[in-house]
Structure 1
Amino acid sequence: MPPELADAARTLFGDRLDLAAAYAELLVTDGVVRGLIGPREAPRIWDRHLLNCAAVAERIPEGATVIDVGSGAGLPGLVLAIARPDLRVTLVEPLARRTAFLIEAVEGLGLTRMVRVFRGRAEAASGGGDVDPFSADVVTARAVAPLDRLALWCLPLTVRGGRILALKGSSVADEIAEHAASVERLGGGEPAVYRCGVDVIDPPTTVVEIVRERVVGPVSKARRAKRRGGRPRGR
């Protein structure tokens, strides 16, 4: 860990900093070898990834259930599980090589009681497949999709009154302006922007929060296919 980030890391991870360091080591070694983290990202694993993700914990209530959609190498879901042992986290990831890494990481870090890994897409986790649907107080996503698609995939995973926390970049205002109407049609409230980790990390993490205000009917296969720009499956 770069010495200049030590104070921020202690603030965000507390007495679980050693566990965070073990995860960081996994990412810069096995994660790079297996293609989950780019080699150029390894030197920035703390500021660009771990601290950036851990800061989001301030928007999550005590004892919440969390689903991390498109978890990849575990960002932000596994980071949140490390930083917040009160959480119960489900990592949702469709790719086999990534879920294999996640399972090994969860077991190696001793997090099997609080973290589970689901191989599949968000649509399947929300009952659109052949599994019992999951639901959570909070659904997180980092660099997964624009807000309209995130709302489509993630709102059905939240309990009513639950929230999506989407980690976003500098163009977030334009994205909200473009997709707020779609979010509302899908049952979400007005997207709100928060800066997490102010006075702890620089720059703070930009998070878009969408509350599930109402439950809407399931989206048909035809409508989902149209939004993806293709044909409905099975036809």
Structure 2
Amino acid sequence: MPESPTPSYEERPGLRPGERGERPAPEGQPAPPLTAELAGPARQLFGDALPLAERYVAHLADTGIEWGLIGPREAPRLWERHVLNCAVVAELLPRDAHVADVGSGAGLPGLCLALARPDCRFVLIEPLERRVEWLDMVVEDLGLGNVDVVRARAEQVVGEVSADVVTARAVTAMKNLLPLTMPLLRGEGELLAIKGRSAPEEIRAARKVLRTYGGAEPEILTLGEGLLPETTTVVRVAARRPR
């Protein structure tokens, strides 16, 4: 993939192993345990950052629910339905990529990917103040030097944030997502949208918008087969420079 322009957000060093796990875990509602079934996949996806991933899940189960970013019913299935479901997308990121996560919310998938891929840089784009405050708090607690958080709507940072990859999960349908994400790629790179069973229908409904924003033919990828109890569906759309 061609080298992307230098991003406008502040460059900071990535994760340093000596900084991991030095603070006490957040107090409050206990995080769901990492079961024997999920421990192997979690180690494979997060590697040395697994202790930080466990701390992140503890944040989700505690302040994430308290602040309204995660529904209480999701607490028992945070690992399999949310965190691992997002982290498996890390295999699609190029080495040292600049990644923009649109509508980050509770850091899904942005923070999961930042933990799994410390070689990459991430900017989490989120318009709601309370969610931005939560993301800032968690990023600081985890000591993530490869993450920046920006309070804005995606369309407000076009020209300021430039990415090799744009990610999104549960933001909006493809026909609405493409106008928000493709301009951040500046004619090269790709969108990785985590979707569900409606992916083929969303692609059909987005054909006209896809042509308008210069996207290549979308691919529907299934990740995590043989590794996770629930696979992840990703719609990958490569950007094409205008002729």
C-alpha contact (below 8 Å) 1:192/1:208 kept by paired residues: yes
- Measured after TM superposition, the shift of residue 160 of structure 1 is 2.6
Indicate yes or no: 2:236 matched with 1:204.
no
- Measured after TM superposition, the shift of residue 215 of structure 1 is 4.8
Q: For the residues of structure 1 that align with 2:158 and 2:66, how far apart are their CA atoms? A: 32
**Unpaired runs of at least 5, structure 1:** 128-132, 217-235
* Residues 48-67 of structure 1: CA deviation (Å, up to 9, x unaligned): 11100000011111110000
Match of 2:105 in 1: 72
The residue type paired with residue 146 of structure 2 is: M
Q: Which of 133, 143, 148 pairs up with 1:116?
A: 148
Alignment of 1:1-235 (within 5 A): 1-111=34-144, 113-127=145-159, 133-215=160-242
C-alpha contact (below 8 Å) 2:170/2:194 kept by paired residues: yes
Q: TM-score, normalised by structure 2?
A: 0.84
* Larger relative contact order (Cα-Cα within 8 Å, sequence gap ≥ 6): 2
Change in Cα spacing, 1:126 to 1:76, as seen in structure 2 (3 Å) is same
Secondary structure of 1:154's counterpart equals helix
The residue type paired with residue 123 of structure 1 is: E
CA RMSD of aligned residues (A): 1.2
Change in Cα spacing, 1:187 to 1:121, as seen in structure 2 (3 Å) is same
C-alpha contact (below 8 Å) 1:90/1:118 kept by paired residues: yes
Q: For the residues of structure 2 that align with 1:142 and 1:48, how far apart are their CA atoms? A: 12
- Measured after TM superposition, the shift of residue 181 of structure 1 is 2.7
Secondary structure of 2:225's counterpart equals coil
Secondary structure of 1:160's counterpart equals coil
C-alpha contact (below 8 Å) 1:180/1:191 kept by paired residues: no
Paired positions, count:
210
Compare the two structures and name the one with the higher helix fraction: 1
Q: Percent identity?
A: 50
Q: For the residues of structure 1 that align with 2:186 and 2:39, how far apart are their CA atoms? A: 36
Q: For the residues of structure 2 that align with 1:54 and 1:163, how far apart are their CA atoms? A: 17
Match of 1:232 in 2: none
Q: TM-score, normalised by structure 1?
A: 0.87
Q: For the residues of structure 2 that align with 1:29 and 1:3, how far apart are their CA atoms? A: 22
* Residues 31-80 of structure 1: CA deviation (Å, up to 9, x unaligned): 11111111000100000111000000111111100000000010000110
Secondary structure of 1:136's counterpart equals coil
The residue type paired with residue 80 of structure 1 is: L
**Unpaired runs of at least 5, structure 2:** 1-33
